[in-house]
Amino acid sequence: MANDSGYADIHGVRLKLAQPYVSEGQWIGQSEILMQLLACWITVDDADLPLTPRLVGSPGVGKTQLAIAAAKAQQRPLYIYQCTADTRPEDLLITPVLSQGGEIAYHASPLVTAMICGGVCLLDEGNRMNEKSWASLAPLLDGRRLVESIVAGITIPAHRDFRSAVTMNQDESTFEIPDYILSRLQPTLNVGFPNKQDEMAILQYHLPFAETEMLAMTVEFLQHSHELKLDFSPRDGINLMRYALKRMTQDSDHPISRDDAWQEALEKCLGEDAVDLEQLAQRRRRTLGGDSVPLGLADLFFDPDDPLHPDRDDDDDEDF
């Protein structure tokens, strides 16, 4: 179906294919989760189907990187679809584009290209996309392994080597994904923060030109924040160090000391709160616990439902 010219013909419709994502994509440490993801893509029998797992975890923990590394380990081309709140069902599949000659050209999305070429598709930040768009993927994610493009009027079956994974983010700007879709996105793989050794190796890999002392300071900070259940991630560490290193090399006549540059980077990249982690963690705990209704003195002596509770507000029981 696909040919080397970057086009594919499906049921008489010519589709322009998307470009694969090419990068180094090395995954450092935490080999278990990489194995779990790769296991999802194995088929143990001709009648078996691969799984589409959900990768979840804090922002910047490495979800996207994990999927990139897994595709690389399989030596399959990787196509990344960045999901957003504006993604429409057809954006995920085939988009009609007016070509120079005034004709309609059909462009296959990264997802459809992966389906045609037998590549891996990563639906990145999947829960930023609304339910309607997810609905168009339901037949792809179950035994049917196909999508239907209304715009091009064709049904596209997935190549037997097609594999997929979805990353999900945990913040307010996301949608609730309906259960019938979630049940097709199994299993859930939770990407956790790296341990001290791995975190050091990750920072070193991304910033091979940084001094060991600064790497150590950053790892110390990140590990402390993981212990306190704060959300500072390897990405935060990488950004912080990049800025500090730039500040240190900026003016060779009046160089900023390592400690000063690092402190400044901490404040500018991660916010003033990051300077005192203990206090930030305490404040977070208080906010999280703050959702419960404050207890009054009477709550110590009476059950909330006790008719004798002085603050009981129960109109139903009133006799008229």
Ligand X SMILES: Nc1ncnc2c1ncn2[C@@H]1O[C@H](COP(=O)(O)OP(=O)(O)OP(=O)(O)O)[C@@H](O)[C@H]1O
Q: Is 241 in the site for ligand X (CB under 6 A)?
A: no
What residue spans of the chain are helical by DSSP H? Answer: 31-40, 63-73, 89-92, 110-117, 131-135, 138-141, 179-182, 196-206, 212-227, 234-250, 258-270, 277-289
Residue nearest to ligand X (CB): 62
Name the nearest CA neighbour of 123 among 84, 83, 71: 83
Window of 3-11, 60-68, 115-123, 197-205 that interacts with Mg ion by CB under 5 A: 60-68
Antiparallel, parallel or unpaired: β 54-56 and 7-10:
unpaired
Q: Is 113 in the site for ligand X (CB under 6 A)?
A: no
Cα separation, 37 vs 115, in Å, equals 19
Query: Could you tell me the smallest distance in angstroms from the CB atom of residue 57 to ligand X?
Result: 6
Window of 60-68, 113-121, 247-255, 258-266 that interacts with ligand X by CB under 6 A: 60-68
Name the nearest CA neighbour of 18 among 91, 74, 84: 91
Decide: 114 and 69 in contact? Cβ < 8 Å.
no
Contacts of 12 (CB under 8 A, 6+ apart): none
Number of residues that bind Mg ion (CB under 5 A): 1
Q: Is 64 in the site for ligand X (CB under 6 A)?
A: yes
Residue type present at position 93? L
Among ligand X, Mg ion, none, what binds residue 59 when CB lies within 5 to 8 Å by partner kind?
Answer: ligand X
Q: Is 169 in the site for ligand X (CB under 6 A)?
A: yes
Q: Is 113 in the site for Mg ion (CB under 5 A)?
A: no
Cα separation, 271 vs 197, in Å, equals 26
Q: How many CB atoms lie within 10 A of CB 73?
A: 15
Among 2, 8, 17, 27, binds ligand X (CB under 6 A): 27
Q: Is 59 in the site for ligand X (CB under 6 A)?
A: yes
Among 62, 77, 119, 126, binds ligand X (CB under 6 A): 62
Antiparallel, parallel or unpaired: β 163-167 and 54-56:
parallel
Residue type present at position 79? Y
Cα separation, 282 vs 296, in Å, equals 23
Q: Which of residues 265-284 bind ligand X (CB under 6 A)?
A: none
Q: Is 58 in the site for Mg ion (CB under 5 A)?
A: no
Among 13, 16, 21, 29, binds ligand X (CB under 6 A): 29
Query: Could you tell me the smallest distance in angstroms from the CB atom of residue 125 to ligand X?
Result: 6
Among 33, 53, 55, 64, binds Mg ion (CB under 5 A): 64
Contacts of 108 (CB under 8 A, 6+ apart): 8, 15, 16, 17, 18, 93, 94, 116
Among ligand X, Mg ion, none, what binds residue 238 when CB lies within 5 to 8 Å by partner kind?
Answer: ligand X
50 vs 234 by CB, closer to ligand X = 234
Window of 57-65, 130-138, 151-159, 284-292 that interacts with Mg ion by CB under 5 A: 57-65
Window of 1-9, 54-62, 142-150, 289-297 that interacts with ligand X by CB under 6 A: 54-62
Query: Could you tell me the smallest distance in angstroms from the CB atom of residue 64 to Mg ion?
Result: 3
Decide: 225 and 193 in contact? Cβ < 8 Å.
no
| Sites of contact with ligand X (CB under 6 A) | 26-30, 57, 59-65, 125, 167, 169, 194, 202, 205-206, 234-235, 238
